[in-house]
Amino acid sequence: MTLAARFLIPLILGFCILTCAWAEPVPVRIMIGSSEAALAPRPVFDGAGVLAPVQIVSLLGASRVDAENGDMIVTAAAGQAGTIKPVYVNGVRMIPVDKLIALIGGERSWDAAKRTLTLIAHLNSVEFDENTLKINCSFPVRVTTKTWDGNIIVDVANTKLVSEAKEVYVGSPLVSKARLGQYDSKTARVVMELVRNTGYSIDAQGAVSQVQIKVGDGLVPPPTVAAQPAKSDKTYAVRGIKVQHVDERSFNIVIATSNKSAASTVLKVSPPQIQINLPGARFDDTCEVEGKHALVNPELTKSTSGAQLLLRLSRPLAYSIDVRDTETIVYVRPPDKSGGTLSNKVVVVDPGHGGKECGAQAGGCSEKIINLQLAKQLSSALEKRGAHVILTRSGDDQLGLSARSKIAIDASADFFISLHCNSNVSPNSATGIETYYHQQLPSPKLLAYAIQSGVCKFTGMYDRQARSDRVLYQSGLGVLRGLAGSDIPGALVECGYLNHSSDRAKLKEESYRAKVAEGIVAGLRAYIEGIPIQ
């Protein structure tokens, strides 16, 4: 035997042993959402993908029939069917999980370090029939429900929203519509907007592929009264109210109470005021307002649910609230980047979408084009008042969400305004203006309220209200989220519904877009200068 052969033979044997070792299937775990799938024998990873015993088909809400040639015909819960060729591992018939998920719908995530495959369902569609909301998912899911602000909220765990519909028109005597959104990375949310307070029951024992929620009087659990915050365990007394002067532009409102309150607030810009609701509270006979500030006129009133303090303001102001054991403090401050005039501010105007991202499409109109037209008219209206304007795009360019907010940050901008057109699944079913702000940040919230008030005032459009972007996603809208921590107030304005014939006709008109621009300018001036919106 030659010297070369003596070295070559061990290398070849070693390579063969190593190859066999890598070819041996490795046991793994499969998580369906947050629960491990109970499978025997255990699933394995064969170097190319995960193989699971055939009972995983039924765990994912599907059914199977064996064909004569040994293939499996799998039918998903949603009805689609396909053929999958099984794989034998140590004599056990298994099914490639990637092919199964591709057929029934869903997402998979492989963690090589933990040898774990996680499966996430798809929320495919929502329908409403005979007072029953049906949420259709690709495989069984678990849900939780609650009521809040006149809505029934359904959170679908370990699920991604893939439905193109973001709003489903219902129009029943009990439910006006259903809204769909991705609440966080693993939770899809469906919100039923009620016409009036009513009850509901849910038909979902454990995990199911179709969640059914029936709405009607006398059903349980009963929802809370619309727009009412949680009440305290006991009634309590409001013993006194102090206006603490901080400086010429800032003050605190200190509400002394006998017990911890369940305070909530309502903000208005036109006229500017902050309404503080104290459910379950009553004013002591000796309760009075001490102190004063030039920017506020406090007014004590009673409400059907308790006590109420109305702060009538001489100009729009930002605020935050701190509820303690025996006092509630409202901190009222000038909003970020306010003061001076609009003429010395830098405003970044962001036409939504662009390039391959066309946005909503309806009646031959593309949202990206309307957004750019709106942005250019807003830019002109702002420049007439001396503001310095930066457009995130001036043509049909495609930009990422983070790139848009980065433009504002890099420019040390004072404000960021993103322009969009709305759309929903049912044409001509929704109309009007809505403006979003990030989370519950005080200054962006006030900016959104001011812009919403201005645009609705100038256009006469239906007021769909300013709202936090958390109603859509727990983390908020990406284009606004990028501004967090930058002290640049930002707002996203939905300027009308592109798939509503009346709204679309307006959005195509230069005169309507000019009114939108003037309304935004009026909102900015109210926020910056304190000028009333007229």
- Say yes or no: 168 and 297 in one domain: no
Res 280 pLDDT > 70: yes
- Say yes or no: 277 and 410 in one domain: no
Instruction: Write down the residue that tokens 């199911």 correspond to.
Output: 208
Confidence class of residue 329 from pLDDT cuts 50, 70 and 90?
A: very high
Res 4 pLDDT > 70: no
CATH number at residue 149: 2.60.40.3500
What local confidence, expressed as pLDDT, does residue 203 receive? 75
Res 69 pLDDT > 90: no
Task: Quote the crossing angle between the two packed helices 367-384 and 510-529, to the nearest 10°.
Answer: 50
Dist CA 319 CA 330 (whole Å): 7
Kindly state the helix (H) or strand (E) to which residue 207 belongs, with its residue range: none
Per the structure, the count of domains in the chain is 4
Res 98 pLDDT > 90: yes
Name the β-bridge partners of 201.
Answer: 214
Dist CA 180 CA 167 (whole Å): 6
Res 205 pLDDT > 70: no
What local confidence, expressed as pLDDT, does residue 345 receive? 97
The fraction of the chain above a pLDDT of 70, given in percent, is 93
Q: Is the CB of residue 222 less than 8 Å from the CB of residue 207?
A: no
230 within a domain of the structure (yes/no): no
- Say yes or no: 486 and 368 in one domain: yes
- pLDDT, greater one: 102 or 10: 102
Res 199 pLDDT > 50: yes
157 within a domain of the structure (yes/no): yes
Q: Which domain holds residue 106?
A: 22-118
What local confidence, expressed as pLDDT, does residue 455 receive? 98
Name the β-bridge partners of 432.
Answer: none
Dist CA 415 CA 491 (whole Å): 9
- Say yes or no: 172 and 306 in one domain: no
Name the β-bridge partners of 182.
Answer: 188
Q: Which structure tokens are listed for 414?
A: 């004072």
Dist CA 168 CA 126 (whole Å): 8
What local confidence, expressed as pLDDT, does residue 416 receive? 98
CATH number at residue 375: 3.40.630.40
Res 8 pLDDT > 70: no
∠ at Cα 23 (22, 28), nearest 5°? 80
- Say yes or no: 189 and 328 in one domain: no
> For the segment 351-374, what is each residue's pLDDT rounded down to a tens digit?
999 999 999 999 999 999 999 999
- Say yes or no: 374 and 452 in one domain: yes
Name the β-bridge partners of 275.
Answer: 266, 310
Instruction: Write down the residue that tokens 């793994």 correspond to.
Output: 28
298 within a domain of the structure (yes/no): yes
2 within a domain of the structure (yes/no): no
- Interacting residues of 485 by C-beta distance below 8 A, sequence separation 6+: none
What local confidence, expressed as pLDDT, does residue 232 receive? 42
* Average pLDDT of the chain to the nearest whole number: 89
> For the segment 398-429, what is each residue's pLDDT rounded down to a tens digit?
999 999 999 999 999 999 999 999 988 788 88
What local confidence, expressed as pLDDT, does residue 196 receive? 85
Task: Quote the crossing angle between the two packed helices 510-529 and 442-459, to the nearest 10°.
Answer: 140
What local confidence, expressed as pLDDT, does residue 220 receive? 64
- Say yes or no: 386 and 510 in one domain: yes
- Say yes or no: 55 and 41 in one domain: yes
What local confidence, expressed as pLDDT, does residue 173 receive? 86
Q: Give the closest residue to 359 by CA, choosing from 166, 217, 98.
A: 166
Last residue of a domain, one of 57, 91, 118: 118
What local confidence, expressed as pLDDT, does residue 198 receive? 85
Query: Cα torsion for 482, 344, 376, 477, to the nearest 10°?
Result: 20
Last residue of a domain, one of 283, 315, 333: 333
Lowest mean pLDDT among 46-60, 171-185, 217-231, 238-252: 217-231
Res 230 pLDDT > 50: no
- Say yes or no: 369 and 430 in one domain: yes
6 within a domain of the structure (yes/no): no
> For the segment 154-172, what is each residue's pLDDT rounded down to a tens digit?
999 999 998 777 788 787 8
The structure's pTM equals: 0.62
16 within a domain of the structure (yes/no): no
243 within a domain of the structure (yes/no): yes
224 within a domain of the structure (yes/no): no
- Sequence-ordered alpha helix ranges (H) in 385-473: 401-410, 442-459
Q: Which structure tokens are listed for 423?
A: 């759309």
- Say yes or no: 256 and 350 in one domain: no
> For the segment 114-129, what is each residue's pLDDT rounded down to a tens digit?
999 999 999 998 888 8
Bridging pattern class, strands 272-279 and 306-313: antiparallel
